[in-house]
């Protein structure tokens, strides 16, 4: 898949900085890290893209370090319970987070507002990948295109429901942004995670969703969902016959990102080590294959580039939330 040039510039990879020579004794000790198991916290239940990404990276890092990297799902409040735990953990490298647009960008602006600072309480380590959001609906509806869906929604205000992984999630925000731009009334149905949201949609209890491609595409290929449009600025090369929402609603652009982060003040030597080693992992053929299955474009950013990208995403969605008057 491709992403727009502005975002590509933000995540464009540069060679990670080498460790400095002549480090003080304390800093030299961090080179021995890790000497015990590392926890990788995920703010979402098993079954979604974040969990899949975390378990893939954890397995590879376990092999690399010779120390277990244990994935722990700390769910709730759109992933912000997990973020709060990480923000308050010791900056020793033994508690990391599978950072996500829900738990680290949108959620902190809504359901987790005030509990922690989404920028200053974290150390960005590496952007892992970005996946597009897809607009899909249950086969009980026969919408020919986005315009057809909008026409139906205007004729039946409040009747169409859309699923999300929780209040303040990227799916929720995408749906609210769609409502504002299209001038329609849709009913939001929040679930506890992407897996539950997808189950609700597949059962027909909910009509539609804005979901990551990794979660939606397998169901589309199995004929259980109908893919109506992609939420990237332009059509995806991998789905050339699927229109973009922006072809009907100009400027519509919603994607999901995944990364690695730790609490604030994480030692630079540990940050650099993880960034370097994960970059090598992302180049392994089986990892590239798995990312392709999740329809994710791998990141190759330095910690500094990831930090810049992170801040830009917070500013983008802060503005959107305010304009759309979205409340948790």
Report residue 198 as tokens. Answer: 């997808």
Burial class (CB in 10 A: 0-12, 13-18, 19+), 86: buried
pTM for this predicted structure: 0.80
Q: What is the pLDDT of residue 221?
A: 93
Q: What CA–CA distances, in Å, run from 190 to 195, 250, 277, 320?
A: 12, 26, 37, 19
Work out the pLDDT band at 61, boundaries 50, 70, 90: very high
Phi and psi, residue 15, nearest 5°: -60, 130
pLDDT reading at 23 higher than 50: no
What's the CA gap between 99 and 29, in Å, rounded? 26
Q: What is the pLDDT of residue 213?
A: 83
What's the CA gap between 169 and 102, in Å, rounded? 5
Burial class (CB in 10 A: 0-12, 13-18, 19+), 83: buried
Q: What is the pLDDT of residue 31?
A: 53
Pairing of strands 226-230, 255-263: unpaired
All domains of the chain in start order, with CATH: 5-131+254-324 (3.40.190.150), 146-247 (3.40.190.10)
Return all residues near 128 (Cβ < 8 A) that are at least 6 apart: 53, 57, 258, 259, 260, 278, 282, 296, 298, 299
Q: If you count them, how many residues does the chain have?
A: 328
Higher confidence at residue 147 or residue 21?
147
Q: What is the pLDDT of residues 228-256, one digit of tens each?
A: 999 999 998 889 999 999 999 999 999 99
Q: What is the pLDDT of residues 120-161, one digit of tens each?
A: 999 999 999 998 899 999 999 999 999 999 999 999 999 999
Place of tokens 């799902």: 73
What's the CA gap between 250 and 244, in Å, rounded? 9
* Over residues 306-324, mean pLDDT: 92
Work out the pLDDT band at 16, boundaries 50, 70, 90: very low
Angle at 187 between CA 182 and CA 188, to 5 degrees: 100
What's the CA gap between 91 and 125, in Å, rounded? 13
Q: What is the pLDDT of residue 51?
A: 92
Work out the pLDDT band at 326, boundaries 50, 70, 90: confident
Place of tokens 């926890």: 39
H and E: helices and strands count for the chain: 12, 10
Nearest alpha-carbon partner for 47 in 214, 290, 254 = 214
Work out the pLDDT band at 166, boundaries 50, 70, 90: confident
Work out the pLDDT band at 7, boundaries 50, 70, 90: very low
């Amino acid at each position: 898949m491709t992403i727009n040039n502005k975002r590509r510039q933000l995540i464009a990879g540069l060679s990670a900085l080498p460790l400095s020579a002549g480090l003080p004794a304390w800093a030299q000790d961090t080179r021995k890290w890790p000497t015990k198991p590392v926890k990788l916290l995920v703010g979402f239940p098993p079954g979604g893209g974040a969990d899949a990404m975390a378990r893939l990276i954890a397995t590879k890092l376990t092999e690399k370090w010779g120390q277990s990297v244990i994935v722990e799902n700390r769910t709730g409040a759109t992933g912000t319970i997990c973020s709060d735990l990480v923000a308050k953990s010791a900056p020793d490298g033994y508690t990391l987070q599978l950072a996500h647009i829900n738990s680290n960008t949108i959620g902190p602006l809504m359901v987790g507002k005030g509990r922690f600072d989404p920028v200053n309480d974290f150390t960005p380590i590496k952007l892992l990948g970005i996946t597009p959001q897809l607009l899909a609906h249950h086969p009980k509806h026969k919408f020919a295109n986005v315009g057809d869906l909008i026409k139906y929604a205007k004729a039946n205000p409040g009747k169409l429901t859309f699923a999300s992984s929780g209040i303040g999630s990227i799916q929720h925000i995408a749906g609210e942004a769609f409502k504002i731009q299209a001038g329609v009334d849709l009913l939001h149905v929040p679930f506890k995670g992407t897996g539950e949201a997808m189950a609700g949609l597949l059962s027909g209890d909910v009509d539609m969703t804005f979901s990551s491609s990794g979660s939606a595409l397998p169901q589309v290929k199995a004929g259980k969902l109908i893919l109506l449009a992609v939420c990237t600025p332009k059509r995806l090369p991998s789905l050339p016959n699927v229109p973009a929402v922006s072809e009907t609603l100009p400027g519509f652009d919603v994607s999901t990102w995944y990364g690695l982060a730790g609490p604030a003040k994480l030692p630079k030597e540990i940050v650099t080590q993880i960034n370097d080693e994960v970059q090598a992992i992302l180049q392994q053929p089986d990892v590239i294959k798995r990312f392709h299955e999740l329809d994710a474009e791998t990141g190759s950013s330095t910690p500094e580039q990831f930090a810049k990208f992170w801040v830009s995403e917070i500013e983008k969605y802060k503005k959107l939330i305010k304009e759309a008057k979205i409340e948790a």
